[in-house]
Structure 1
Amino acid sequence: MSISPSSTPYPIGTPGTPWAAAERAAWLARQPLQRVYAEEVVAPLKALAAGLPAQAELFQYGTLDYTRLGLASYPLWAVRSRAWRADHPVVLVTGGVHGYETSGVQGALLWLEHEFGRHAQGLNLLVLPCISPWGYETINRWNPDALDPNRQFKPASPAAESALAMACVAANCTRVDLHVDLHETTDTDNSEFGPAKAARDGVAFDWHAIPDGFYLVGDTERPAPDFQRALIEAVRPVTHIAEADEHGCLIGEPLQQAGVINYPKRALGLCGGMTAARLVTTTEVYPDSPTASPAQCNQAQAATVTAAIAYLQRV
C-alpha cells in the first residue's frame, strides 16, 4: 500500500548537507494551519469534564508558546481521576505526540467519552490527549523548530511538547503501572516526513514500506509479549492487523509476534520510555488503508486502551 521511493530531492536544502537556520525557517514557512485545536480538542475536553464532574478533573498542565516564531501559544490540557488514591494502579494514556496522527488524538477523546467514567473509580487515570497541538493544527510530525517530539523524551529536552508532558506526569504520578501511547503510521511518512528528516539531517532517506494494518511497538527492555498479544487480539474485531513484509519486518524492524515489533524506547527518547511502567505499548494505526475508516482507526485506539486496562487488572 505504500508509495515507492522517489529520487526527487526534498525541496528544501542541499542533499548531503544538514539544515541550518535558513532551511528550518523555509520549512516552517511551508506549514499552513489546517484545523483548529481549540474546536477539535479543547472544546470536547471541556464538554467531557462538564459531563463527568465527579470522576474527571480537567486541568491545564502548561502552555506551548511559539510566539517567538510569530506563531500562537497553546494551552495544554490533561484529564485525571478526581478521586486519586495511593493504593490504586496508575494508568497513563498519551496521544498526539505526533500531531498529524489524527486517531491518536481523536481515539483518546473517544476513550475519554465512553470509558473514562467507568474506570475512574478503581484506577488512577491520567490522559494527555494532544501533546503537540501545533502539530495537530498543521498536520505535522515535527514541532515548529523542526524537532520530532517523539525523539525528545529525555532530560533537558529541547522540545517543549516533550518536556511539559514529562513534567506533568512527574507532578501527578509517583509511579505508572501502564502506559499506552497512541500513534499512527501513514503514507506521508514516506512521501513527506521521512524525506524531510533525511534532508534536515543531510543523509539519505531510509525508505521502508508502510504496513497495511494495525500493529504495536513494545519496549525492547520491557517486551511483555503476553500483554502485547492480548491487545492485538482485542483490536482484531475492529480493524485488520498488519502483516510482516518479505523480510519478516514491519517498518524495518523484525516481527516479534503477530502485529508486534519492539523498539528501545528510552534510548530513542520515545514517549513510551518516559516512565518505568511495567506495561507499555505504542499503537500504530494505518489510516490510509482502503479498508479502514477514520471511525475504525479511532475505535482501534480506544479498544487498545480498554484491553490494556483489562490486562492490568487481571495480572
Structure 2
Amino acid sequence: MSPQQPPHPYPIGTPGTPWGAAEKALWLSRQRLQRSYAEEVVAPLKAGLPAPAELIQYGTLDYARLGLGSYPLYAVRSRRWNPDLPVVLVTGGVHGYETSGVQGALQWLRQEFGRHAAAVNLLVLPCISPWGYETVNRWNPDALDPNRQFRPDSPAAESALAMACVAAQGARIDLHVDLHETTDTDNSEFGPAKAARDGKAFDWHAIPDGFYLVGDTERPVPDFQRALIAAVRSVTRIAEADGQGRLIGEPLQQPGVINYPQRSLGLCGAMTAARFVTTTEVYPDSPTASPAQCNEAQGATVTAAIEFLLRG
C-alpha cells in the first residue's frame, strides 16, 4: 500500500471554497507539456496496423479558446464489420496521465487485434484525452475529469466525442474494457486538486499495490471479473484488500475486484449497455512492476475478456 500523504493545503484556492474561473485559470497556467501525443500515439497508429484493422478519425479536440492547440482523435475498428458477430469496445487514456491505458491499448492493437478480428467486431479508442496524455493529467483543460462526464449533454468534449464515435457504429456493444491506472499521484496531486476544486476535504485512501478491477454495481458479473483476475495474475501482482477489507475505500467483492455505480458516476464504462464491463486499474508505481509489465497486464485483460465472451 502506498503510504504517500497529500500536501496540505493544495496550493490553489481557499480551503472549503470551490474554485471559480480565476482558480481554474491559475491551475491551467501551471500545466506543462511533458510528452507528445503526435509522436507517441498518432505516429504508431499511422505507421501500420494489422490488415483486418482500419484507422478512423472520429473528431478533433479544439482548445483554441484557452490558447491551446487542437488534437485529432483516432479509433481503430474492424475493417470488415460483420453484423452477426459480437462487438467489443476497448477504451484507453480517458485519464491521459495513466500511461499503460494508452500504451497497453496500442500494444494490444499491434499484437492481438488480428488474432481476434475474425471472431468479434473490434472498436478501440486508445487515447480519449490527448491533452491529458501530453500534460500527464487527470483532467482536461477546463478542470473537468472526463471519466465523470460520460452522460447526456456532457460538458467534456473528450467524453462527448467518444460517446458519439461509439454510437456511430450503430451496433450493440457486448463487451467493454476500459483501461486505467491507480498511481501514487492520485494521492499526492490529483485527489487533493479535486478536493480543492470542489471546496471539500480530501478523502485519502492508501493506493493498492497491484492490479485490480472495477466492475459495475448494476452489472457485476462476478464470474467474468474472476476470469480476468485469473488471467492477469500470471502477469503482475493482484492488489490485496486493506485491514477493513477494502480497496481505495470500496468493499472488496472478491479477490482483486470492487464495484462502482458506473452510470450514476458518469464513468466511461457506463457509456453502453454492454453485458460485460470492467475497468482495469494497474499500479505502475509498484517496485515490483515495470512499464512493460503494466502494458502486458492491460492487454492480458482485453484478451481474457474476449475469450470469456466467446465461451459464453
Cα shift at 1:2: 1.6
Tell me how far apart the structure 2 counterparts of residues 30 and 3 of structure 1 sit (CA, whole Å).
26
| Residue in 2 that maps onto 1:210 | 207
Structure 2 residue matching 1:74: 3-state secondary structure: strand
**Alignment check: 8 A CA contact 2:176 2:277 kept:** yes
Alignment of 1:102-251 (within 5 A): 102-251=99-248
Q: Distance in 1 between matches of 2:7 and 2:274?
A: 42
Letter in 2 for 1:89: P
Q: Which position in structure 2 is the counterpart of 1:40?
A: 40
Corresponding position of 2:302? 305
AA matched with 1:182: L
Match of 2:28 in 1: 28
Number of the residue aligned with 2:259: 262
Q: Unaligned regions of 5+ residues in structure 2, if any?
A: none
The 2-side partners of 1:37 and 1:6 are apart by: 29
Structure-2 residue corresponding to 1:10: 10
Letter in 2 for 1:220: T
Q: For the residues of structure 2 that align with 1:288 and 1:39, how far apart are their CA atoms?
A: 24
Partner AA of 1:5 in structure 2: Q
Deviations 1:93-117 (A, max 9, x none): 0000000000000000010000001
**Equivalent in the alignment of 1:273:** 270
The whole-number CA distance in structure 1 between the counterparts of 2:6 and 2:108 is 38
Q: Which amino acid in the other structure matches residue 145 of structure 2?
A: D
Offset at residue 121 of structure 1 (A): 1.8
The count of aligned residue pairs is 312
**Partner residue of 2:94?**
97
SS class of match (2:48): helix
Aligned-partner Cα distance in 2 for 1:305–1:155: 27
Shift of 1:7: 5.8
In 1: Cα distance, 2:31 partner to 2:224 partner: 39
Q: By how many angstroms is 1:71 displaced? A: 0.5
TM-score, scaled to structure 1: 0.98
1:3: Cα distance to partner?
3.3
Aligned to 1:258, the other structure's residue is in SS state coil
- Partners of 1:175 and 1:47 lie apart in 2 by 30
Find runs of 4+ consecutive structure 1 residues off by over 4 angstroms.
Answer: none
Q: CA–CA distance in 1 between the matches of 2:57 and 2:163?
A: 14
Go from structure 1 to structure 2 and tell me whether the alpha carbon gap of 1:310 and 1:73 turns closer, same or farther (over 3 Å shift).
same
Deviations 1:22-68 (A, max 9, x none): 0000000111000000000001111233xx2x411101000001111
Work out whether residues 48 and 112 of structure 1, in 8 Å CA contact, stay in contact via their aligned partners in 2: no
Note if contact 1:227-1:279 (Cα within 8 Å) is conserved in structure 2. yes
Amino acid at match of 2:52: Q
Amino acid at match of 1:174: A
Determine whether 1:67 maps to 2:64. Answer: yes
Amino acid at match of 2:142: D
The 3-state SS of whatever aligns with 2:180 is: strand
Any conservation in 2 of the 1:224–1:279 contact (CA below 8 Å)? Answer: yes
What is the Cα-based RMSD across aligned positions, in Å? 0.8
Q: 1:91 to 1:173 in 2, by over 3 A?
A: farther
- Matched residue SS, 1:300: helix
CA distance in 2, matches of 1:84, 1:313: 17
Deviation at residue 122 of structure 1 after TM alignment: 1.9
- Distance of 1:32 and 1:63 partners within structure 2: 21
- Report deviation, 1:173: 3.8
Q: Structure 1: any 5+ residue segments left out of the alignment?
A: none
Task: Return the alpha-carbon distance in structure 1 between the equivalents of residues 248 and 241 of structure 2.
Answer: 9
Query: How far off is 1:72 after superposition?
Result: 0.8
Which amino acid in the other structure matches residue 222 of structure 2? P
